[in-house]
Amino acid sequence: MSPELQELYRKVGNDPTCGKDWMDITDQMQHELVREFGYSDEAVQLMRRAPQLYPDDPEFRTTQVYVRNNIANLGNLKEGMEAPDCPLIPLKYSDITIPNISIDNTDLPNQISLRSLCRSGRSLVLLAGSLTCPLYRYISHVLNDMYERYQTRADFYMIQIREAHASDVWPIGNIIGIKEHKKLTDRLAAAEEMVKATQLKIPVLVDTMDNIFFKFILSLAIPLLYRCGWDFKASWDAKRGSLRYN
């Protein structure tokens, strides 16, 4: 991307209260691009839907950035819906324990079920993000404050998902030197870096390399927070652009 466009991404990433986010900048860029080549604005919608319209076209297998970020067809958990179960990998800590979960002291990752985290009488608060997400970096201290305030009433977990803006795939704004995860050890290392860089106090679990949590639960806007009741139904989810939690 051009330095000018990177600067726009950097500005909205550093000031989420400006009324715009990266999706607005991307939308603007796409419309300007199609107009420059003489196409109508409808071409943008066609471009976004192309992988669904032509699922067998081999060309899309080589356009990694476009395909991986066109996630309109992924999961979209809404309030009142039952959250699907999926496997997760706990990140090992020396000073943080995950209730009801035993993590063996071995080099092999221990896979657990998302639903195993749900305890009767307590809400389950799921957050998702990655260090390369500017919005996550901006509000990480708020998440810590929320955790410290409500951890006696609810169980909080941060889920490390695939990188929002890996340095070798789609870097924007203030670029963080974390590359696309190629294997589970990469994702575990990225999660450890996320905890270290933001001093995160919330227990962390890692999505599998199949990105099952990401695909089944997150929507196009990539909400940062879900709250599930003891029946594992979503009772609240963050909307696009949500910066403050009540």
Predicted model pTM: 0.67
Q: Where are the alpha helices (DSSP H) in 70-224?
A: 134-150, 184-198, 212-217
pLDDT at 246 over 50: no
User: Taking the chain, what is the end-to-end CA distance rounded to the nearest angstrom?
Assistant: 37
Averaged pLDDT for residues 157-180: 83
Averaged pLDDT for residues 160-168: 86
Averaged pLDDT for residues 116-139: 83
Q: Which residue has the higher pLDDT, 54 or 36?
A: 36
- Three-state SS at 27: helix
Nearest CA-CA partner of 22 in 135, 131, 127: 135
| Phi and psi torsions of 17, nearest 5° | -90, 5
pLDDT at 159 over 70: yes
pLDDT at 19 over 80: no
pLDDT in tens, 201-229: 999 999 999 988 887 765 433 445 555 55
Give the span between the Cα atoms of 161 and 128, in whole angstroms: 7
Give the span between the Cα atoms of 192 and 204, in whole angstroms: 9
What pLDDT, on the 0 to 100 scale, is given for residue 99? Answer: 58
CB-based contact 195:160 (threshold 8 Å): no
pLDDT in tens, 40-51: 988 888 777 776
What pLDDT, on the 0 to 100 scale, is given for residue 223? Answer: 41
Q: Which residue has the higher pLDDT, 157 or 77?
A: 157
Give the span between the Cα atoms of 192 and 188, in whole angstroms: 6
What pLDDT, on the 0 to 100 scale, is given for residue 191? Answer: 95
For the chain, residues classed under CATH 3.40.30.10 are 87-237
- Three-state SS at 90: strand
pLDDT at 131 over 80: yes
Cβ-based burial of 114 (10 A; exposed 0-12, middle 13-18, buried ≥19): buried
Give the contacts of 15 (CB within 8 A, at least 6 positions apart). none
Determine the residue type at 215: K
What pLDDT, on the 0 to 100 scale, is given for residue 233? Answer: 57
What pLDDT, on the 0 to 100 scale, is given for residue 227? Answer: 56
Mean pLDDT in the chain? 75
Averaged pLDDT for residues 119-134: 84
Encoded tokens for 227: 């709250």
What pLDDT, on the 0 to 100 scale, is given for residue 182? Answer: 93
- 71-75, 79-83, 179-183: least confident range: 71-75
pLDDT at 122 over 50: yes
What pLDDT, on the 0 to 100 scale, is given for residue 177? Answer: 85
- From start to end of the chain, where are the E strands? 87-90, 112-113, 123-129, 154-160, 204-207, 225-228, 234-237
User: What are the CA-CA distances from residue 176 to residues 22, 172, 185, 214, 241 (Å)?
Assistant: 16, 9, 18, 21, 21
What pLDDT, on the 0 to 100 scale, is given for residue 208? Answer: 93
CB-based contact 120:230 (threshold 8 Å): yes
Averaged pLDDT for residues 65-92: 67
Cβ-based burial of 213 (10 A; exposed 0-12, middle 13-18, buried ≥19): buried
- Residue whose structure tokens are 């995860």: 181
| Third-level CATH fold of 87-237 | Glutaredoxin (3.40.30)
What pLDDT, on the 0 to 100 scale, is given for residue 147? Answer: 92
